[in-house]
Amino acid sequence: MPLRASHFTVTRRSTGKLAGHAMLCPDARYATLRLFGETRLCRGFAHPAQWKTIEADLAIGWEKGHVPRASAVAKTLLGELDSEHALQFVTAIPFDVANGGAAAAFDAYLWQQAEHGL
């Protein structure tokens, strides 16, 4: 089943330096963050009503890719990270995944981005 996932970068506000990557796919209820130097992925969670807000946020988009910290997308992906971290939309990526394989495909994509420092 083809799914469309949104790829984001996480930067440090003070330096503008890349700190990690994040992926979000409302259809798969997938929200995950990968910070450089971390050995695990950080899962984001949202209630059904929050997913509707996330879908609306994604449909509107953001100027210059910057995602406001107060948005449902940023709250879900950045969670408890301090306000020093900023989220920027990069692109939407189509994934053709088998039933139940979405999370594994998205996880592999995040690990690959982090390994290459992209």
Question: What pLDDT score does 62 carry?
Answer: 75
* Of 2, 13, 3, 5, nearest in space to 88 by CA: 13
Q: Is 83 exposed, middle or buried (0-12, 13-18, 19+ CB in 10 A)?
A: exposed
Q: Which pTM does this prediction carry?
A: 0.89
Mean pLDDT, the chain cut into blocks of 10 residues (118 residues total): 88 92 94 90 92 92 82 92 90 81 89 72
